[in-house]
């Protein structure tokens, strides 16, 4: 529980607002539609706890919706438009700035969000004077022995080994492994020779319906909780380092210029 005076204390210590950003979207027959939000929340909370003696943080409630047109039309998908997501992130940044906090880190769990969050961060610097950053936590580096455990490699895109393992570690009751099936991998591999393949160098307006009947892209059948615990721990360490770096990052000079004489 966070009260107003605790937020003021984070501001007084030049702390960092951690804003988890997820999605509500289909995650195949075996994972909850809240998977990305649960991952973002858990990472933000764990990283905030890890740095507690060094950096003051305010871990905000998660934004449970994201940009999900690639899953539109499947039951359980509730996506925001790009315009709405940018409006909400600006509103969140406005409130953080008004609370006196000048550093913000979006802790993102959904693969459809990063491009818009990058735009949001640059706008928040311009409009709100914030030092705003975004990190896509599933993309943080994994130790080689863990990366080798993902048999489908780069095609572990959605509800596959990574997400299923991490949820088995965080909230096993939310996973139905009996329903887990490999899907989508053959379809993406078959398109590999095309310059307009999904997940290649060219931006392609892919939709999950092009690739997967079940809604899975990857192989969740290899998932296990131990792998998930180790991946989570390694990536929380990496995220904590990013929080420390954000706390040490210079504030945008235009904010300093606009301050009303209050001492840093
Ligand atoms: Zn996901």
Ordered by start, the domain boundaries in the chain are 4-246
Q: Report pLDDT for 151.
A: 84
pTM: predicted TM-score of the whole model, two decimal places: 0.94
The two three-digit tokens of residue 120, written as one number: 């949001």
What's the pLDDT at 255?
Answer: 54
Q: Are 216 and 160 in contact (CB under 8 A)?
A: yes
Is the four-CA dihedral 203, 205, 210, 213 of positive or negative sign? positive
25 C-alpha to center of ligand 1: Å?
8
Res 264: pLDDT:
45
Q: What is the DSSP letter of 259?
A: S
**Residue 132 C-alpha to ligand 1 middle, in angstroms?**
23
CB atoms within 10 A of CB 102: 24
Q: Could you read off the pLDDT tens digit of each residue along the chain, which spans 264 residues? A: 899 999 999 999 999 999 999 999 999 999 999 999 999 999 999 999 999 999 999 999 999 999 999 999 999 999 999 999 999 999 999 999 999 999 999 999 999 999 999 999 999 999 999 999 999 999 999 999 999 889 888 889 999 999 999 999 999 999 999 999 999 999 989 988 899 988 889 999 999 999 999 999 999 999 999 999 999 999 999 999 999 999 999 998 865 545 554 544
C-alpha 153 – ligand 1 centre gap (Å): 16
**What is the Å distance from ligand 1's center to 36 Cα?**
5
Q: Give the whole-angstrom CA distance, residue 43 versus residue 138.
A: 10
**Which run of H or E residues covers position 27?**
none
Output phi, psi for 232, to 5 deg. Answer: -60, -45
Tokens standing for 149?
């455990």
Distance between Cα 97 and ligand 1 center (Å): 30
Q: Residue 16 carries which DSSP code?
A: E
Structure tokens that stand for 138 in this block: 């599933």
d(CA 190, CA 155): 12
| CATH number listed for the domain at residues 4-246 | 3.40.50.10310
Q: How far apart are the CA of 180 and the centre of ligand 1, in A?
A: 14
CB 142 within 8 A of CB 235: yes
* Virtual torsion, Cα 7, 20, 63, 216, nearest 10 deg: -170
**pLDDT, position 254:** 64
């Amino acid at each position: 529980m966070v009260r107003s005076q605790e937020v003021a204390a984070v501001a007084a210590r030049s702390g960092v607002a951690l804003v988890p950003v997820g999605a509500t979207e289909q995650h195949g027959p075996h994972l909850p539609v809240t998977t990305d939000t649960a991952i973002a929340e858990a990472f933000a909370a764990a990283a905030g706890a890890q740095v507690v003696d060094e950096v003051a943080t305010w871990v905000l409630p998660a934004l449970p919706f994201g940009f999900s047109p690639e899953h539109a039309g499947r039951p359980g998908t509730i996506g925001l438009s790009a315009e709405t997501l940018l409006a909400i992130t600006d509103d969140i940044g406005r409130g953080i700035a008004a609370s006196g906090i000048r550093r913000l880190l979006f802790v993102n769990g959904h693969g459809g969000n990063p491009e818009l969050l990058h735009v949001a961060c640059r706008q928040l610097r311009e409009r709100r004077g914030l030092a705003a950053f975004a990190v896509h936590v599933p993309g943080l580096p994994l130790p080689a022995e863990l990366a080798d455990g993902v048999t489908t490699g780069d095609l572990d895109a959605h509800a596959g080994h990574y997400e299923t393992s991490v949820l088995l570690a965080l909230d096993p009751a939310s996973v139905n492994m009996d329903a887990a099936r490999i899907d989508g991998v053959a379809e993406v591999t078959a398109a590999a020779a095309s310059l307009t393949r999904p997940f290649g160098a060219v931006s392609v307006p892919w939709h999950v319906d092009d690739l997967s009947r079940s809604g899975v892209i990857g192989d969740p059948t290899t998932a296990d909780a131990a792998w998930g615990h180790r991946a989570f721990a390694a990536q929380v360490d990496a995220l904590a380092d990013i929080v420390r770096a954000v706390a040490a990052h210079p504030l945008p000079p235009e904010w300093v210029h606009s301050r009303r004489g209050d001492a840093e």
